Copies of this chain bind each other. A is one copy, B any other.
């Protein structure tokens, strides 16, 4: 029932992807309050005991779902230039926040996060994981001589991802393709005359 599949990364139960999908769908439709271990088990078609063998709490399974589910993963680009890589990454983030399959998950994470310390820890983990994945993009740019090696990749990604989250969810306005290019050009070259 809970034999692990060799995914080449961390050990996980055989029906991991179904469990992750059930977790994220429940979060999106029922909110953080409606997300329970019982509901996840039922929706994923696994025993509750199986679920508890792998994760001790709903925050643990949520953290695993956010970082490991195929739904929220996008490839780290390698276009040959920092500009190309940042535009591709920003487009993927925009897609994640607006695609019908993933936007409700992002909205639910946003709605659930403030004022919940356990979820804050999940958020920290999720975005630290993303930053680690994006890191090669910046390292390659340093090697190519496009980027000063004192640049803080996390701050750059906070500014790009932050601008997209902010406009989509707080300003509730569309992000055009040209806006993404312009944001990347600001990050690369600045606005000073």
Question: What separation, in Å, do the CA atoms of A171 and B160 have in the docked complex?
Answer: 14
- Interface size bracket, A side: 35 or more
B166 touches A170 (CB 8 A): no
Segment at the interface with B among A5-13, A35-43, A52-60, A181-189: A181-189
A82 touches B192 (CB 8 A): yes
A159 touches B183 (CB 8 A): yes
User: In this complex, what residue of B is CB-closest to A138?
Assistant: B191
B123 touches A192 (CB 8 A): no
User: In this complex, what residue of B is CB-closest to A161?
Assistant: B166
Given contacts A111-B113, A114-B111, contact A182 B146 (CB under 8 A): no
Quick check: is A30 within 8 A (CB to CB) of the other chain?
Answer: no
Quick check: is A135 within 8 A (CB to CB) of the other chain?
Answer: no
